[in-house]
A and B are shown apart, each in its own frame.
Chain A
Amino acid sequence: MDWGQLPQQLVNGVQLGAVYALIALGYTMVYGVLRLINFAHGDIYMVGAYFAYYTAMVWFNRMTMNPYVMLIAMLLIAMVGCAILGVIIERLAYRPLRNAPRISVLITAVGVSLFLEYTGRLIFQTSPQPSIVEEVNVLAKPIHFAGITIQQSQLAVLGVTLVLMTGLWIFVTKTTMGRAMRAVSHDFATASLMGVNVDRVVVVTFVIGSSLAGAAGMMNATAFGQPLQPFIGLIPGVKAFVAAVLGGIGNIPGAVVGGLIMGCAEVLVVWAGYAGYRDAVAFVILIVILLFRPGGLFGSTADKV
C-alpha cells in the first residue's frame, strides 16, 4: 500500500465508477417507473460498444472526418442505436406483459439478455474480437498534474458522464415529461387515471436509460481498447445493478453515488494489494449497507429489494 498513489488511484476509481453510474442510471430509471429489473441492460451496453466500433471503422477507413467530430458521431450513433433497441425491447418483450405477475417480466428480462448475448455470439463467433483502434482516440495524450497522470480521454469520459447526468437531472426535475415520469414512478395506476400517458413515459424511460448505457459502452470501448465480444456487458451490468441497489434502486442520485462508491471501492481494494477480492468487495459493501439501510443509501425504506 503506497499512500503517495492514493490520489491517482482515486482518479482511476472515479473514472471506473462514472461508467458504472451511467449504466446504473438505466437500471434505476426502469425500475422506478416499471418496478422491473431490466437484466438486458448490460447487453445494451455491449451493443453500444459495437455501434461505436462499426461507426469508427466505416469512417476511420475513409479518413474523411475530423477525429473529434468522429468521436462525437460515435457517441451519438451508439446512443441513438441503443435508444432504438431499448424501445424495440420494451415494445416486443415487456409491454405485452405489463399486467402480468412481476416474476414473469423478470424472467422475460433474463430471456432478452440471453437473446442479445447469444444472437451476438451467433453473428460474431467465428470472427476475431475487434477493438476500436487507438488512432481513433485522438484524446489519448496524458496530462500530468500534481503527481497524477490522467489522459484526456479519461477526462472526456468524466466530462461526458457529468453532462449526461446533469441533463438527466434537469429533465426529470424541470420538465413536464419529467414530472409525468415521477408521477408514474410514484403510482402507476393513479398517474394513468390522472391523464398521464404512461406508455409514452415508459418509452421515454427506455430511450433515456438505453442511450446512457450506449454512451457508457462507447466510452469504455474507446478509452480502454477492450476487445469486443458479445458477453462484455455481463460483468459491468451486474456491477451497475449492484450500484443501483446500493444507492437505492429507483433513485437517480443514488445510482450515481452507488456507481462512484463501487468504482472507488474496487480500485482501492486493488491498491491495498487484494486484487483477488476486487469483485467481492462490491457485494460486501452491498450486504453491509442493506443490513443497516434496507432501501439502499438514498432509497425509501418502503422499497426493499
Chain B
Amino acid sequence: MSLFSAAMALSLAACSGCSGGGGTDNPAPSGGGAAGGTAAAPGRELPTAEGNKAEGDTIKIGLISSLSGDNQPWGEDSKNGAQLAVDEFNAAGGVNGKMIELKVEDTASKPESGKSATEKLVGEDKVLAVIGEVASGITIPAAQVCQENSVPIVAVGATRVDITQKGGAIFRACFTDNFQGAAMAKFAYEDLKLRNVAVMTDRKLPYSTGLSDVFKEAFEFFGGKIATEEFYESGGNMDFKAQLTNIKSKNPDGMFCSGYFTEVGPIARQREQVGLNVPMFGGDGWDSTQLINSGGTGIQGQYFLNHYHNSEQRAEVQDFVKKFQAKYNHPPATAMGALGYDATNVVLTALKASGATDSKSLITAIAGVKDMKGVSGSITIGADGNAQKPALVLQVGKTEFKPVKQIPFFVFESKKK
C-alpha cells in the first residue's frame, strides 16, 4: 500500500491568524486507496442483530460522556454541544412530528464505566443511536457494544485509527490519528524546522500509543529522525523527571507529547526542572486550559493540533459560539463542544433524511451523510466511517490558545498494519 495514496484538500474557509496553505504539496502521489472515502474499508461489516426500534412519541438517542474524572472538561463540553444540537432540532419541529430525547450517561473517564453506560443506553433506554466518547480508550469498548446490538455510534473525539475499522456501525465526527500524527509531523518538520525529535507516549492510552506510532512513521517519512521514545502511564505517577532526563541526554531539538493535558502540563513544568529547553508539541489531547495552569511557563509558546478554534471567522463557528454562549453563559472551553454538536448533527441529519425509526436503518443513513456543514469543518462520512476535515495548529499562550496555521486534509496511510 502506498504511503501517501493521495493528497487532497477539502474546502477550507480562511481563519483569522491562519496562514492557510494549499496543502497539495505532499510527495509520493497515488496508488489507489481511501482518498475521498470511496473505497470500501475492510472489516466494516454491518451488524446482524435486530437493533432498537423507536416507540412512543419521542426518539431517544444516547450520549456517553466523561462528566467526571480526568477528562471532565471534554465531557462537559461534549454534553453541552450535543444538547444544543438536540434543542435546535426539536425547536425546528423534530422529525415526522417526533421530538428527540437525549439520554446522557457519565463514563467517569473510564473504559469500563463507558461500556456499562453504553449497555444501559442500548439495552434499557433502547436508544436509536449513541454519541460519544471523547476518548479513544473509552470509545473502543462502547463501540463494541453498539456494533453487537446494531446501534450506530458516532464518536465525538476518538481519533485512534482502528476504531472505525472494527465494524460498520461505528462512525466519528473527528479526523483520525493517521491525519493528526502526519499533520503534526509535517508541521514540526516544515514549520518548526525540527530534525531530531524525542517522543513521550502514555502507554496506558490507546490514543497516545496510536498517535505516537503514526507520528514517528510520518516524521521519518518527511526526513526527520526520532531521537528516542520514552513512556509513562497516566493515572497515578506524576513524576516524569526520570524520562525527561533520559530524553535530555539524547539532545533532541524537539519533543512530541501524544498524551492528554492532565499529564502534559506536569511534563512541561518538569522539563524545565531538568533543563530540557526544546519546543514541545502534541495532538488534540492537549485541548484544555487546565494545561496552562499545570504547565506554567513550561507550556507557554508550545504547539498542538486541534479540530477548530472559537475565533475562526467561518459562519458555522461564529454562529455556534454565539448560540453556545447564549445557552450556557460561557463559550465552549474545548473543541469537544463543537465536536459533540457536530456528532449529534450527523445523527440528526441522517435521521431527518431517512426518516428511520429503527437503529439498523439509521446505520445506513449515517454512512450516507455527505457535505454536512459542521462547526469543525464540512463532514462527509466515507465508507471507512471517518470524517475528513482540516486541522488547526494552535499555540499555547498565557491564558488561551491562539490559532497559528491551518493544515488541509491529506491522506497518510500507515505502512504498518
Contacts and interface: CB of A to CB of B under 8 A. Distances in A.
Contact of A5 (B237, B245, B265): B245
Interface string A124-143: 01111111011100001010
B231 A276 contact: yes
Given A227-B265, A275-B231, A275-B232, A154 B273 contact: yes
B243 A275 contact: yes
Contact of B249 (A4, A151, A223, A226): A4
A216 B256 CA distance: 31
Interface in A118-165: 121, 125-131, 133-135, 140, 142, 144, 149-151, 153-154
A129 B67 contact: no
Contacts of B68: 121, 125-126
Nearest to A13: B242
In the complex, which range does the number of interface residues on chain A fall in?
35 or more
Contacts of B236: 234-235, 279
Interface string A1-13: 0101100110011
A235 B273 CA distance: 23
Given A125-B72, A271-B245, A227 B273 contact: no
A10 to B, nearest CB: 10
B contact patch SS: helix
B250 to A, nearest CB: 8
B294 A131 contact: yes
A126 B293 contact: no
B237 A140 contact: no
A90 interface: no
Given A224-B239, A275-B231, A130 B293 contact: yes
Interface string B230-267: 11110011110111011011000000000000100110
A16 interface: yes
B290 interface: yes
B72 to A, nearest CB: 6
A182 interface: no
Given A126-B67, A129-B262, A276-B233, 14 more contacts: A12-B241, A12-B242, A129-B70, A131-B266, A131-B293, A133-B296, A151-B272, A154-B273, A227-B265, A229-B69, A267-B239, A270-B243, A271-B245, A273-B246
Contacts of A127: 72
Contacts of B233: 276, 278-279
Given A131-B265, A227-B265, A275-B231, A126 B294 contact: no
Interface of B: 67-70, 72-73, 76, 203, 230-233, 236-239, 241-243, 245-246, 248-249, 262, 265-266, 269-270, 272-275, 288, 290, 293-298
A43 interface: no
Contacts of B249: 2, 4-5
15 contacts: A8-B274, A12-B242, A125-B67, A126-B67, A133-B296, A134-B297, A140-B273, A149-B274, A149-B275, A151-B272, A224-B269, A225-B270, A225-B294, A227-B294, A234-B236
A267 B242 contact: yes
A2 B295 CA distance: 27
A69 B20 CA distance: 49
Across the A-B interface, the 5 shortest Cβ-Cβ residue pairs: A134-B296, A235-B236, A270-B242, A131-B294, A149-B275
B296 A149 contact: no
Contacts of B241: 12, 15-16, 267
A117 interface: no
Contacts of B246: 2, 5, 270-271, 273
Contacts of B248: 5
A279 B236 CA distance: 10
Contact of B290 (A12, A128, A142, A270): A128
A135 B258 CA distance: 26
A266 B242 CA distance: 9
Interface string A249-270: 0000000000000000011001
A181 B340 CA distance: 59
A224 B266 CA distance: 6
Residue picked from B203, B237, B266, B295, most chain A C-beta under 10 Å: B237
A131 B261 CA distance: 12
A215 to B, nearest CB: 17
B294 A226 contact: yes
B269 A229 contact: no
Contacts of A226: 238, 266, 294
Contacts of A121: 68
Contacts of A4: 249
Interface string A217-238: 0001001111101001011000
Contact of B293 (A125, A133, A140): A133
A214 B297 CA distance: 26
A12 B262 contact: no
A15 B273 CA distance: 12
Contacts of B290: 128-131, 227
Contacts of A154: 273
Given A2-B249, A271-B242, A276-B203, A229 B70 contact: yes
A140 B242 contact: no
B270 A224 contact: yes
Interface in A278-297: 278-279
Contacts of A232: 238
A12 to B, nearest CB: 4
A149 B273 contact: yes
A275 B298 CA distance: 23
A235 B239 CA distance: 12
